[in-house]
C-alpha cells in the first residue's frame, strides 16, 4: 500500500501547488458535459464518454471485489487498447495506484516488477494474471489531487535494475494541462499515440484526452500499415510517435498524403531526435514536428511549439513546460553562456514524489543550487542563443579521449544517417594512453556491410572533427533494447566486456 505520506521530496522542491485535478473528476466532467461525444476510437467501433464512464464504474466494482482500494498497487500490462484505458481509470477510481508494465515483458519480468513495488495484482490485457499470496483489504475511495496515481519504471538503458518513479494525480494532470495549453488542444482535435501508454510519453497522450475532451484513437501495435488504417478511418490532428516509428514511416514509400492531411502536428520523444529525421518527416508530411524532452521522473519537461521556425525542433528541445524551470550547471554552479555544456537540472510541479523503496536514491537525485533543490537529470545540455535548450546526450555517455569530450549522441546521430545502418551505439573503451577511445557498435540492414573506413569517410563528409571519430567498430546482428526501444547500453557494455575478455572481439 502506498500513500502520499510514504514520500517526501527534499526541502525546496517545487510541489504541485493548488491543483484540484484527479483522474476520476476529469472522467466525470466529460461524462457529464459530453456524454454522447466520442472518447475512444477502437477497431471495434467508437466509445462515447458516457459509455466509457459506465465501463469504468463496472470495472471499479470488480476490482473492489479483488480488494483493490486506497493505496493498493496494481500492475497494468496491456497494449494501447480499450481494456488498458478502462483498467487504468478504474484503478484510479478506487483510489489505487497503477504500476505501468510494458506489454513486451514476459510473465517472469512483469511479476518481478510487480513484486518490487509490492503490487496486490497484475492485470494483463483485461485479465487478472497474478495476485499476491496474502494481501490486506483496502476500501475504495475517491483520491485527492496529491494522492499517488501511477508508478513508472525507469528505462534501464544504463543498467539491469530499473527504479520505480511515483507520481501524483495533480503532478501528471497539471503537466498535461500545461502541454494542452501550449498546443492549443480542443475537444474537436483527435489524438493518436503510436507510443505505448505504459511509457510516460504515451501516457501523456492519454491524459491529454482527459484534460481536453479530445478523442483518442487506439493503435494496439504500431506498423506503417496499422498507422495507415487508423488514420484512414479518423481525421487525426495530433500524432505522438517515438523516433523509431518516424523512421519506419519515412522509409515507407507509399503515398500517405491523403490519410495524413488532417495532421496539425507530430510530437516525438522517447529517444534522441536527429535533425535529419525531423527534416525528413516535415518534408514527407508537410506538418511541424514538435520535439519533447522528458523522463520517467519528470513527464514532459521541455518541448518546442508547432509555431516555431522549422529548424527549432531540429536544433533544440525547446523551453520548459508550464511553470517548470531548468538550469544548466557545471560543478554545482549555473552556466549561462550559450553553447557551454553542463548537466541539465529540473524543477517543477510535474516532478515525481520519489523512487519506490529507495529514499537514499531519491535524495541523491537532487542538487542544491543557490539554496534551491533541483533534480539531476543526468543529461548534457547547452543554452541556445535564444534561450531554448539544446540536448547533448547523457552525462555518462561521453568518450573522454585524452581530455577531449566526445558526445556519443552526436556521433550516433551522424552514423544513423548511413543507409545501411539499422541500430547504432558509441561506447567508451579503456585505453592506456588516451584514457578512452570510441567503440562503434552497429547492426545493419540485410545484405549490407560496414567497416571503419566507411564510417570515417561518412563522418568526414558530415564535417565532424577527427578526434570524435570512432576508432573501433563491432557489427552485431542485434543491439539489446529496452522495452521502450532504446539501446540498453548497460547490457551491451556487459556483453562486450565479456566478449573482449574471452578474446572474441577486437583481435
- pLDDT per residue over 59-83, tens digit each? 999 999 988 999 999 999 999 999 9
Which H or E run contains 347?
Answer: strand 342-347
- pLDDT per residue over 224-236, tens digit each? 889 988 888 889 9
Topology annotation, domain 23-143? Rossmann fold (3.40.50)
Give residue limits of the domains in the chain: 23-143, 397-501
Evaluated on CA atoms 367, 20, 151, 195, the torsion sign reads negative
Predicted structure pTM score: 0.84
Q: In the structure, what pLDDT confidence band is assigned to residue 471 with cuts at 50, 70 and 90?
A: very high
Share of the chain above pLDDT 90, in %: 61
CA distance 225 to 110: 29
Cell numbers placing 83: 481494456
CA distance 134 to 442: 47
Residues with Cβ within 8 Å of 341's Cβ and at least 6 positions away in sequence, in order, are 328, 330, 380, 381, 382, 392, 405
Rounded mean pLDDT of 449-458? 95
- pLDDT per residue over 280-331, tens digit each? 899 888 999 999 999 999 999 999 999 999 899 989 999 999 999 999 999 8
Q: In the structure, what pLDDT confidence band is assigned to residue 16 with cuts at 50, 70 and 90?
A: low
Q: How far is CA 192 from CA 76, 170, 229, 247, 375, in A?
A: 20, 23, 12, 17, 31
- Does residue 507 carry a pLDDT above 50? no
Other beta carbons within 10 Å of 418: 18
CA distance 238 to 278: 16
Rounded mean pLDDT of 112-119? 92
**CATH number of the domain at 397-501, please?**
3.30.300.30
Amino acid at each position: 500500500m502506498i500513500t502520499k505520506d510514504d514520500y517526501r521530496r527534499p526541502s525546496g522542491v517545487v510541489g504541485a501547488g493548488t491543483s484540484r485535478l484527479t483522474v476520476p473528476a476529469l472522467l466525470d466532467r466529460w461524462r457529464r458535459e459530453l456524454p454522447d461525444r466520442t472518447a475512444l476510437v477502437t477497431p471495434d467501433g467508437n466509445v462515447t464518454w458516457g459509455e466509457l464512464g459506465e465501463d469504468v464504474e463496472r470495472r471499479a466494482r470488480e476490482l473492489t471485489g479483488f480488494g483493490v482500494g486506497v493505496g493498493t498497487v496494481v500492475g497494468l500490462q496491456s497494449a494501447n487498447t480499450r481494456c488498458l484505458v478502462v483498467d487504468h481509470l478504474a484503478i484510479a477510481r478506487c483510489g489505487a495506484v497503477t504500476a505501468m508494465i510494458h506489454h513486451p515483458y514476459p510473465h517472469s519480468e512483469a511479476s518481478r516488477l510487480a513484486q518490487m513495488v509490492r503490487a496486490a495484482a497484475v492485470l494483463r490485457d483485461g485479465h487478472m494474471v497474478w495476485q499476491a499470496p496474502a494481501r490486506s483489504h483496502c476500501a475504495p475511495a475517491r483520491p485527492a489531487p496529491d494522492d499517488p496515481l501511477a508508478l513508472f519504471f525507469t528505462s534501464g538503458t544504463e543498467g539491469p535494475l530499473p527504479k520505480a518513479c511515483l507520481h501524483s494525480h495533480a503532478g501528471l494532470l497539471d503537466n498535461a494541462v500545461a502541454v494542452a495549453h501550449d498546443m492549443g488542444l480542443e475537444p474537436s482535435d483527435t489524438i493518436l499515440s503510436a507510443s505505448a501508454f505504459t511509457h510516460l510519453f504515451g501516457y501523456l497522450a492519454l491524459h491529454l484526452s482527459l484534460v481536453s475532451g479530445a478523442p483518442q484513437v487506439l493503435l494496439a501495435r504500431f506498423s506503417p500499415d496499422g498507422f495507415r488504417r487508423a488514420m484512414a478511418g479518423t481525421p487525426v490532428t495530433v500524432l505522438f510517435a517515438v523516433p523509431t516509428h518516424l523512421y519506419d514511416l519515412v522509409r515507407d514509400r507509399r503515398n500517405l498524403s491523403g490519410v495524413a492531411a488532417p495532421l496539425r502536428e507530430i510530437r516525438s520523444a522517447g529517444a534522441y531526435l536527429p535533425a535529419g529525421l525531423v527534416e525528413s518527416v516535415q518534408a514527407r508530411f508537410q506538418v511541424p514536428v514538435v520535439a519533447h524532452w522528458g523522463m520517467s521522473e519528470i513527464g514532459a519537461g521541455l518541448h518546442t511549439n508547432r509555431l516555431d521556425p522549422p529548424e527549432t525542433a531540429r536544433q533544440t528541445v525547446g523551453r520548459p513546460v508550464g511553470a517548470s524551470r531548468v538550469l544548466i550547471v557545471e560543478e554545482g554552479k549555473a552556466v549561462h553562456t550559450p553553447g557551454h555544456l553542463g548537466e541539465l537540472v529540473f524543477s517543477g510541479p510535474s516532478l515525481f514524489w520519489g523512487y519506490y523503496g529507495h529514499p537514499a536514491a531519491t535524495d541523491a537525485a537532487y542538487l542544491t543550487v543557490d539554496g534551491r533543490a533541483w533534480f539531476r537529470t543526468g543529461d548534457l545540455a547547452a543554452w541556445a542563443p535564444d534561450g531554448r535548450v539544446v540536448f547533448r546526450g547523457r552525462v555518462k555517455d561521453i568518450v573522454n579521449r585524452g581530455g577531449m569530450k566526445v558526445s556519443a549522441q552526436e556521433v550516433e546521430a551522424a552514423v544513423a544517417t548511413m543507409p545501411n545502418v539499422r541500430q547504432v551505439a558509441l561506447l567508451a573503451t579503456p585505453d592506456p594512453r588516451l584514457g578512452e577511445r570510441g567503440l562503434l557498435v552497429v547492426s545493419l540492414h540485410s545484405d549490407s556491410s560496414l567497416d571503419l573506413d566507411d564510417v570515417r569517410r561518412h563522418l568526414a563528409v558530415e564535417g565532424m572533427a577527427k578526434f570524435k571519430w570512432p576508432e573501433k567498430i563491432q557489427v552485431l546482428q542485434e543491439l539489446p533494447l529496452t522495452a521502450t526501444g532504446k539501446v540498453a547500453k548497460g547490457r551491451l557494455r556487459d556483453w562486450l566486456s565479456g566478449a573482449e575478455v574471452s578474446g572474441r572481439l577486437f583481435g
